[in-house]
């Protein structure tokens, strides 16, 4: 049960605030297993909405779901040189099964490229078998030393798409298409603005040719990588001998991609929208979009109010909304308001005896507007309007926050000062040198989040590296990141 006291504010301690928002909304809990979290029903309901929306978008772009084993023979990981280097230090290893020591230890998938390419090698013979467009919803394990609920846990839930194509161009097209799907989802469902772009080599997925990502800025002005899409080239195809006969009768390795998004998005959603009162959830992903709280004192009032509340509930449900009538008798309306506020429910309807008489109902928004009396007649369309407006307002507010925290064309000194003080995003020229990147990271803790896609770039392209002054090869976005 949520305790009735104020949360630590974002300004006072963002990290403590984040944990308290999660506790108050009962989204997740620490488990007795180091680094592993429990996703409680209120948190899982948001994840389910995310899954439903993304899954439909994957299917609409021609993908099918499948399921591959959680276990990967240890030797598989080693077949792709960069991949093993990237993942070996953080794997969990099964050494015993059925009471016996295993001949070859099994690792628990940190990601599934290796086991999936072993199967693709079996399934793909000809160009007619291509493309293969498969997605998997699964749990993965990456041993973490410092964990945070949703953001970094040893086990997490995600989806991983794995596609194989006949040409390099098709693979690149798919990589970019799925980056676009993530962007659409984050903007339109999570109400979270993102910057898309390419990662530098030092931030690339272990084994990929190129990694693209969606980067978002949290309210503490730290960036968060919200999803990635990788063009794997022929790297894994070579490692697992995934070949196919081309239309010309030649033999070639397939070109492949992988792309993923995880329960980390729930953390991103929390840190993008929530306030000092608790969770704020965009309507499209909320477990309940509308909660109705009946107000009454006498049994007679109760009958009339409950009857009217249930009529409203049915009308909203019939309009396709996720609506809940809070009929608990042993709890006062104020306590209910407090609870639903902390749980981030976008809209609340209060309905008392006077409202019944006047055929109206009081609408309270979780954020961005005062209480308002609306007519019961046509309540579904009024609520639809309010819901769409709240969804749009949350996006605009997040966008405004991000823009306010963004500095373009900074000097080295301005950059250092910004990273030391308020944080946020800095756009500037980059010389392309990994050494320069490493030096920046060491001195400021900031990393290049992306080399942004064209529409995010500054109107005047930088000519010099923001750090070393050598010629710039690309504009970069720097930030301290989760």
Rounded to the nearest whole angstrom, what is the least distance from the CB of residue 193 to its own copies in the complex?
28
> Which of 33, 318, 385, 438 is in the footprint of its own copies by CB under 8 A?
33
Please say whether the beta carbons of 164 and 120 come within 8 A.
yes
Please say whether the beta carbons of 279 and 344 come within 8 A.
yes
Q: Which stretch binds its own copies (CB under 8 A): 92-100, 252-260, 278-286, 355-363?
A: 92-100
Closer CB to its own copies, 44 or 212, in the complex: 44
Residue 394: partners with Cβ closer than 8 Å, 6 or more residues away:
191, 273, 280, 282, 367, 368
Burial 364-387 (b: 16+ CB within 10 A, else e): bbbbeeeeeebebeebbebbbebb
Among 70, 65, 40, CA closest to 52: 65
Residue numbers 51-70 binding its own copies by CB under 8 A: 64-70
Closer CB to its own copies, 106 or 293, in the complex: 106
- Residue 285 found at the interface with its own copies (CB under 8 A): no
Residue numbers 297-356 binding its own copies by CB under 8 A: 330
- Residue 90 found at the interface with its own copies (CB under 8 A): yes
> Which of 97, 334, 378, 471 is in the footprint of its own copies by CB under 8 A?
97
CA 475/CA 105 separation, integer angstroms: 45
Q: What is the dihedral of CA 68, 253, 84, 156, to 10 degrees?
A: -30
Residue 387: partners with Cβ closer than 8 Å, 6 or more residues away:
283, 289, 290, 321, 346, 347
Rounded to the nearest whole angstrom, what is the least distance from the CB of residue 470 to its own copies in the complex?
38
> Which of 2, 14, 19, 36 is in the footprint of its own copies by CB under 8 A?
36
CA 100/CA 83 separation, integer angstroms: 29
Q: Which stretch binds its own copies (CB under 8 A): 25-33, 315-323, 340-348, 445-453?
A: 25-33
CA atoms within 13 A on the CB side of 365: 21
- Residue 29 found at the interface with its own copies (CB under 8 A): yes
Closer CB to its own copies, 88 or 468, in the complex: 88
Residue numbers 140-179 binding its own copies by CB under 8 A: 141, 143-145, 154-155, 157
> Which of 12, 93, 169, 375 is in the footprint of its own copies by CB under 8 A?
93
- Residue 37 found at the interface with its own copies (CB under 8 A): yes
Letters for 100-119 (x = contact with its own copies by CB under 8 A, - = none) are -----xx-x------x--xx
- Residue 249 found at the interface with its own copies (CB under 8 A): no
Q: Give the three-state DSSP class for 119.
A: helix
Q: Give the three-state DSSP class for 58.
A: helix
Residue 8: partners with Cβ closer than 8 Å, 6 or more residues away:
16, 17, 20
> Which of 31, 56, 358, 458 is in the footprint of its own copies by CB under 8 A?
31
- Residue 40 found at the interface with its own copies (CB under 8 A): yes
Residue 105: partners with Cβ closer than 8 Å, 6 or more residues away:
74, 93, 94, 95
Please say whether the beta carbons of 230 and 259 come within 8 A.
yes
The 8-class DSSP code of residue 278 comes to: B
Q: Which stretch binds its own copies (CB under 8 A): 4-12, 29-37, 218-226, 454-462?
A: 29-37
Give the interface with its own copies as residue ranges (CB under 8 A): 1, 29, 31-33, 36-41, 44-45, 47-48, 64-73, 76, 88-99, 105-106, 108, 115, 118-119, 122-123, 125, 128-129, 134, 138-139, 141, 143-145, 154-155, 157, 330
């Amino acid at each position: 049960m949520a305790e009735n006291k104020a949360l630590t504010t974002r300004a006072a301690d963002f990290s403590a605030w984040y944990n308290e928002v999660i506790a108050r909304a009962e989204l997740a809990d620490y488990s007795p297993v180091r680094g592993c979290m429990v996703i409680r029903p209120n948190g899982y309901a948001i994840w389910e909405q995310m899954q439903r929306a993304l899954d439909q978008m994957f299917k609409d772009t021609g993908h099918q779901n499948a399921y591959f084993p959680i276990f990967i023979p240890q030797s598989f990981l080693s077949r792709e040189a960069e991949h093993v280097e990237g993942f070996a230090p953080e794997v969990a290893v099964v050494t015993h099964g059925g009471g016996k020591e295993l001949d070859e230890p099994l690792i628990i998938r940190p990601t599934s490229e290796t086991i999936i390419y072993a199967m693709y090698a079996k399934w793909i013979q000809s160009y007619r078998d291509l493309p293969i467009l498969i997605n998997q919803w699964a749990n993965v394990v990456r041993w973490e030393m410092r964990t945070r609920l949703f953001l970094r846990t040893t086990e997490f839930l995600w989806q991983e798409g794995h596609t194989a194509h006949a040409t390099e161009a098709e693979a690149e097209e798919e990589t970019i298409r799925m980056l676009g799907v993530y962007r659409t989802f984050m903007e339109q469902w999570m109400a979270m603005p993102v910057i898309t772009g390419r990662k530098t080599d030092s931030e690339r997925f272990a084994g990929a040719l190129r990694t693209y990502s969606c980067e978002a800025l949290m309210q503490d002005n730290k960036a968060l990588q919200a999803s990635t899409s990788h063009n794997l080239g022929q790297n894994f195809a070579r490692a697992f001998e995934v070949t196919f006969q081309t239309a010309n009768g030649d033999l070639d390795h397939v070109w492949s991609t992988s792309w993923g998004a995880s329960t980390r998005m729930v953390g991103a959603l929390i840190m993008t929208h929530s306030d000092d009162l608790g969770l704020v959830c965009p309507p499209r992903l909320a477990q309940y979009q509308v909660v109705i709280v009946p107000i009454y004192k006498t049994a007679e009032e109760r009958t009339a109010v409950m009857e009217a509340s249930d009529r409203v509930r049915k009308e909203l449900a019939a309009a396709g909304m996720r609506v809940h009538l809070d009929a608990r008798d042993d709890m006062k309306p104020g306590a209910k308001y407090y609870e639903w506020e902390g749980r981030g429910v976008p809209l609340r309807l209060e309905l008392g005896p006077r409202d019944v008489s006047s055929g109206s109902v009081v609408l309270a928004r979780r954020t961005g507007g005062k209480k308002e009396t609306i007519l019961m007649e046509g309540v579904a369309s009024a609520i639809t309007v309010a819901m769409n407006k709240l969804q749009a307002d949350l996006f605009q507010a997040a966008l405004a926050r991000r823009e306010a925290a963004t500095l373009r064309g900074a000097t080295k000194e301005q950059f250092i000062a910004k990273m030391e003080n308020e944080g946020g995003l800095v756009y500037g020229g980059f010389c392309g040198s990994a050494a320069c990147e490493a030096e920046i990271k060491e001195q400021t803790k900031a990393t290049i989040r992306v080399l942004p896609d064209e529409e995010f770039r500054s109107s005047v392209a930088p000519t010099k590296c923001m750090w070393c002054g050598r010629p710039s090869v690309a504009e970069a976005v720097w930030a301290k990141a989760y």
